[in-house]
Each structure stands twice: as C-alpha cells, then as structure tokens.
Structure 1
Amino acid sequence: MTPRRTRSFFAIILLSAAAFTAQGQVPNGIAHPDPAHAPNWVGSWAASQQIPEPNNAVPLDSLHHATLRQIVHLSIGGPAIRVRVSNAFGTAPLHLITMHVARPLSPAKSHIDAASDRAVTFNGRADVLIPMGAEYISDPLNYPVAALSDLAITMQIEEAPGQETGHPGSRTTSYLATGLPASATELTGAQIIDHWYFFSGIDVSAPADTSSIVALGDSITDGHGATTNGNDRWTDDLASRLQHSAATSSIAVLNEGIGGNRLLLDGLGPNALARFDRDVLAQNGVRYLIVLEGINDIGMLTHTTVASEAQHEYLVHQMIGAYQQIILRAHAHGIKVIGGTIMPFIGSAFYHPDESNESDRQVVNAWIRTAGHFDAVIDFDKIMADPAHPDHLRPDYDSGDHLHPSPAGYRAMAEAIPLTLFQK
C-alpha cells in the first residue's frame, strides 16, 4: 500500500470511529455510556466473602446443575438494581447458566411471587463465566425495590468452581435444589442451608447524594446470636433507624462482618487488613466506615496458651497499628472512619479471658477513645457493659455466651449510635 493510500485508509477508519461516537455507539453495537447521564450506584446489601469451613460448605457434587435461591434484606431502595456475584476463592471458573431476581413470599420459605420474577443478564447474555478469584457485576436491571424489603436471588450453577466462596454467617435460609429452573415458584424438595454462597452484593441506582456505611467487624457485626431470618443484627436495626429519619433515609448499611475475624491474623476468613480493599473500598457509595474489630485478637492470644507480659504489650501495639492502617487507607478515599470500642467478654466460655486480657481491652479502648485517632467514636463498651461488673456484658443484652449480644443487645447497640454522625 502506497503512503497516500495508507493515509486515506486510516482517515476512513478515524472518520468511521468518529461517526460511531457521534451516534453514541461503538462498532460492536454496544451502547456507548454517556457519563453525564450514568446512574449513581450505591450498595444496598453486601456480605463478606470467605472459604466456607467444611461444616458450612455444601458437597461439591451437589452444585452440579444446581439451582440456588438466596434471600437478602436490603437497606435502601431504588428503581434499578445490579447483582454482584463472587468467585473470590474459587480454584476454577464459576459458570452461571442463568440468574433471576424475584420478591420472596417469606424468608423462611423458597416461594417467590411468580409475577415479580425477572432474568438478570451479564454483558447482554443469560450466562456468565466468572474467572477464579474474581467478582462480576450484572447488567443493570430496571427493577424497583423498596427500602428494608427482601429480595430473592436464584442462580443456576453448572459445576462447583473447585472451591466454594461464600458467607457462612448468613442468619438467613437459602435453598439448594437440582433439576429446577431459576424461575420456579417453589424449589420443591430443596435442601435448606443457613448460609450464602457466590453472592456478595446488591447495588441500587440512587440520587447523587445517596451514600453507604460499611460495618467492618467480626461475629458481633455478622450477627451471632441474632434470629435466623429475623434481620435483627445491629446493622439491620441501624438501617431501620436511618430509614425512619428524613435526614438519613438516603444512607445504606453494608454488613461486612465475618465470624471469628481478626485485625492481624486470618481466622475463619481473611484478616481485616487483607480484606479491606474488597470489603470496604470496592463497595459503591461508601462515605462512612464503622470499625468494630479486635475482640478475637485479644481472646486468641491466650486461647490455648499462656502469654507473657511482652506478648500482651506487642499484641496491643500491633492492633493499634492495624487501626492506623485502616484509618489511613480509608481517608485516602475520602471515607469517614468511626471506631467502635471493644465490648467486655469476661465469663466467655470460649475464651476464658482473665485480667490480662481485660487489661489489653482497656488499653486498646483508651486509644480508640483518644481524640485525633478515629474521626468519631461509638462507645459500644459503655453501652453494653454491666454497670455492676463492667468487665461483663449486661445480662439483659447477653445472648448467653457472655461474648455475643442478644437481639435486645443488638438493638441497644444500634439505638445508641448518634445519627448525627451521618448527616451532612
């Protein structure tokens, strides 16, 4: 090709590309996004992902052409949704044959309102192949959802992706069946499982001033001691309070708690610093972060052995360093960080804490309360401590294990959080 013809050829290509852009299209026919009219996506519900431990995993062969229906409780509503699917810990790609959304008739049953059932697409197709280690966001779906409403997500899975990704502490019932379509009104004969799998979030389209709070924590945030299908974790109660105040009804709550979680070391899931990017920074619309972590770090130090005074001091030093890292990384993204003081747990049958553990807790809480560290503080310790025995949980807020609150305790935690923390 001569130089003149080469220039002519590229001129034609450039003109063609300009024409496509002017028409709001690209050559493959996919609509070209208009940034000026792009929807504002904010997380309404989320769950931290981990490798389910053996007693919380489903047998891999049960995921062969399986239909899995999972129900979640949203915080804020909106006219459109996107579903986030996770294969974060898979060792092979996850192939979803199809996925549907619908309104459940009850969280405690697999029934859905058939008239509300809609198919979800990925890149315009019903199926999607999610690489191992990845998360995938669905196409937007015009599907109005109300604040504090329930939503059923039903996915058909071709095969287990080698290793499962999920959230064992759902406190919500899921339904696993084979040979049934995702649109089935009822999953007859389904296996009942109180865990979530391969499902990490629901985003809603919302006005530009809408935002979310991420609650980063352990089993106390995850809701151990809450009622199955009752949505009575402290984060649920906080979401309800926010919705009943005109000044805060545009703020969502995303529960990113994991049972047994620690600041410094992995437990049943990745440590808080390791999962920070995925569970906090990757969430849409995050403006606030509540951190309630550390009780498992303190308890595990002496869970099976005696620790020296130097080991106690080093643990406290490392915990404070972890808090500082969380604050630093959140501030870099314009997120206000609110510290929650660690609640008392003397009497815990699991940890058997002594005065050294209690001393560690007091030192850490003193640092959390000190001005200039967190942007604000929620003094959960003061709220939940027994006035007669401040190193114990209040009996009327104790689930019975002297470590986790009861639903009444979770409600007290939520009611003690000043909503002014989240007002502009």
Structure 2
Amino acid sequence: MKRTMLALVGALLLATSGHAAERLSPWVSAWSTGLVSSETEKPPTWPEGPFVIREVVRLTAGGPRVRLRLSNAFGTAPLRIDAAHVALSAAPASAAIVAGSDRKVTFDGREAVVIPAGAVWLSDPVALPVKALDRLAVSLALPAAPGVATQHRSGRTTTYLATGATPDAADLPGAITNLQWLQLSGVEVDNAKVSAVATFGDSITDGSGAGVNRYERWPDILAERLQAHPKTRNLAVINAGIGANRLLKDGTSVSGLARLDRDVFSHPGVKTLIVLIGVNDIGMLSRDGPVTPEGRQAVVEGLKAGYRQLIDRAHGQGIRVVGATILPFGGTKTYRSDADADADRQAVNQWIRISGAFDAVVDLDAVTRDPAHPERLKAEYDSGDLLHPSPAGYRAMAAAIPLAVLK
C-alpha cells in the first residue's frame, strides 16, 4: 500500500512539473498601467460630493468576459466604490458609450466594495464580449474623493469626472476632464489562448510626445502589429511605463526594481517582458550632486546589476526578458547630456548587446539614432526636446521589434 501511494505521489509530481508552464487561470491582462501616488505626482481635480469617474482604455486582447483590477495601492485609508459599470466606448475623446453595451460590475455579488489601504481588488467576471483593440469605458461611482489617490499621471487618454451622474449614463456632458487613470490598474479578459507582453520603462514607454486619444505610443503600435498577423494575435501588450522612472532610485515614482512586482508580475498571463529603462538613471545623476568619475561608474555598474536582478526575478516567474538598448539623448536640456553622459549610455548599451544576460535584445538605439550624430535622435524621430521620440519615432521603435522574439 505504501509503495502504491508513493508511486501515485511521484506520478502526480511528475505531471505537475511537466505542466508547470501552463496557466492555472484563463484570465490574462489586456490592459494595465504603472501606478504612482497622488502625494508625489499631481493629483486630479476632484469634483465636490459623490461623483463618477469614467476612464477609457484600449484592450489588446479579446474574450467573452472581462473583469476589473482596482487598486488602492497608495491609499492611506479604505477606498469605497459605490458602483461600477463597463461598456464599449462610442468614440475617441468622448465619454459616450455604445448603446446596449453597458454592464453592471459586481464584487462578490455586491454592487459596492471597500478596498483596504494598500490593497488590490478584482471584480466579479462581467459577461461582455470584447475584441482586441476595442475601447472599454470603465465607470466608478465614488461617494467622495480619496485622500491619497492611486493613479497614473500621463494616460494620454481623456478621463471624465462628473458630479450627479450615474455610472450607467449614456454620456457625461459637462464633466471635468483630465489625462490621468484613477484607481484602475488593469482590465483582464477571459481567454486561456492569449498571453501578455509587458513593456516596462520610463516616459519613452509611457509615451511622452505622443498625442492624446491617438494611441501613438510604441506599445500601442506594437499591439496593432501583433493583431495584424494571424500568428501573433494570441499576444496582448500591457504598458508599465512611468514618466521619470529610474531603475535604481525612487523619484516621483518608486524605482523600477521596487515596482516590478506590482506593475508587471501581479498581472496574469505575462510571458514576455520588454525592458527599456536606464536613461533617467544616467541623465539624472547631475541632479544628485557633482558628477564624478566614481559616480558615473556607480550608475553604469548599478544598471548592469539592476538588469540582472530584474532578469532573475522575471525568470523565477517563468517570464522571458527582452532587453532594449537606451535611446540617444544628446543635447537635451532635461538633464546632463554631454559626451560623458553618452559614454555612460554607450557602455550600458554595449553590455545589453553582448552580455548574454537577456533572452533577446532589440537595438532601439541603432534604430533611432542620427547616423551623422549617433549621440542624438534622428530629427524626424525627435519630439522636440531631444529626449522623447515623436510619433514617427515610436512607430519606428515598434516596427523594429521582431515579432518572433515575443512568442
């Protein structure tokens, strides 16, 4: 009997290890954003009294059901949401929803939910069929503004805040508008055939220089490329970029290494991670005090060690990591951009290319640099500040990523 039980246990362990890479849940993240605190970033202008937030997100995967991932990660008090609805968005730059698409969202069967300080809360599944690249309107009814909001500062998509409205309203005329995502960290779809590609970085991934309600960031264009090819339509793209983010140090947002679990690993279905971060670590050195050879070397070696940490942690989650070289920023007035800064960037980029630490490498430096002045962006790829790409630059970046490395 003992031998039989041991044999059964052994068989079970072999079966489990053989299927370790399979997902235990059919849910996959079809949209997400990196989160910051309203104490370190500009808070929204909140309406008086009870109000409705309606924020529009573009999904990168489809399925028969959706669910919301709401966050009070930076809240210092419980967050009460009295009601929530989802619907298809009728048009870009509009609070209007598609008639007949509105669905009530529940939480353990109830309309209201109280999210503890620091916590994330998943909604119940909502039967609303969606397709990749559909726009989803998420409406939350709040009794009052949170003391400290959990937000994303630069959504580049209009969010609407309306007093006296209901979350199922067909439109929100007269609403206050801003460009922040508020208390929403993700939208998941029920689709076991899809996995997600997470893009992790700073304002260049966040999309500084891209237009509002135009979906011109390089992760947006990458998602469109994936959906245009039948063999890659089973890949979603989520954006974990935050403006001014550094890999190694906190600023207006916590460091990349500190937020990796919350903004990437916690989202279901992520199998590939594209990393484009480090320009702020190099450039902002001049803001920390005098720039010395020792300080420069510490940043370069710190980035290499930080990348290795990121890779090891991702591999522990079964996630492949694609490293992207840092774009040129010579001449920018944002921070130090002299020959020494470019030498540091080149040293880090060379390590990314030849170290073998990443599972694959995409040389975005080679794609975006001016051949005559390789320390600078190509003129047509510059948004105007010599640091952030233009929409044309973002398109070139997305086009340079071999789709085969994402599968």
Task: Give the drift of 1:306.
Answer: 2.9
SS of the residue aligned with 2:111?
coil
**For residues 224 and 110 of structure 2, what CA distance do their matches in structure 1 show?**
36
Residue type of the partner of 2:106?
T
Quote the residue 1:75 is aligned against. 60
Aligned-residue CA RMSD (Å) = 1.6
Does 1:99 pair with 2:84? yes
Quote the residue 2:290 is aligned against. 306
Q: Is the 8 A contact 2:41 2:153 kept in 1?
A: no
The TM-score normalised by the length of structure 2 is: 0.92
**For residues 114 and 69 of structure 1, what CA distance do their matches in structure 2 show?**
16
Distance 1:129 1:371, change over 3 A: same
String of CA shifts for 1:319-338, please: whole Å, max 9, x gaps: 11110100010011111001
Q: 1:286 aligns with which of 249, 270, 273?
A: 270
Q: 1:186 aligns with which of 168, 171, 187?
A: 171
Unaligned runs of 5+ in 1: 1-36
Correspondence list, 1:257-336, <5 A: 257-303=241-287, 305-336=289-320
SS of the residue aligned with 1:115?
coil
Q: 2:187 aligns with which of 182, 202, 207?
A: 202
Quote the residue 1:24 is aligned against. none
Give the share of equivalent positions with the same residue, in percent: 48
String of CA shifts for 1:290-332, please: whole Å, max 9, x gaps: 0000000000001464311011111111111110100010011
Q: Is the 8 A contact 1:108 1:173 kept in 2?
A: yes
Does 1:56 pair with 2:42? yes
Quote the residue 1:33 is aligned against. none
Q: Is the 8 A contact 2:382 2:393 kept in 1?
A: yes
What count of residue pairs does the alignment treat as equivalent?
386
**For residues 66 and 341 of structure 2, what CA distance do their matches in structure 1 show?**
45
**For residues 305 and 277 of structure 1, what CA distance do their matches in structure 2 show?**
30
Residue type of the partner of 1:124?
G
Quote the residue 2:335 is aligned against. 351
Q: Is the 8 A contact 1:94 1:159 kept in 2?
A: no
Q: Is the 8 A contact 2:221 2:395 kept in 1?
A: yes
Q: Which segments of structure 1 move beyond 6 Å, counting only runs of 4 or more?
A: none
Q: 1:115 aligns with which of 55, 75, 100?
A: 100
String of CA shifts for 1:145-203, please: whole Å, max 9, x gaps: 01111000000012233201100110000000111111111112100111111001010
**For residues 182 and 215 of structure 1, what CA distance do their matches in structure 2 show?**
31
String of CA shifts for 1:232-251, please: whole Å, max 9, x gaps: 10000000001111111000
Does 1:40 pair with 2:26? yes
Quote the residue 1:87 is aligned against. 72
Distance 1:66 1:234, change over 3 A: same
**For residues 278 and 259 of structure 2, what CA distance do their matches in structure 1 show?**
15
Q: Is the 8 A contact 2:284 2:336 kept in 1?
A: no
Residue type of the partner of 1:349?
K
Quote the residue 2:345 is aligned against. 361
String of CA shifts for 1:62-92, please: whole Å, max 9, x gaps: 3631110000111111111111111100011
Quote the residue 1:217 is aligned against. 201
Q: Is the 8 A contact 1:114 1:183 kept in 2?
A: no
**For residues 243 and 71 of structure 2, what CA distance do their matches in structure 1 show?**
19
SS of the residue aligned with 2:161?
strand
String of CA shifts for 1:252-288, please: whole Å, max 9, x gaps: 0010000000001112211101001111111110100
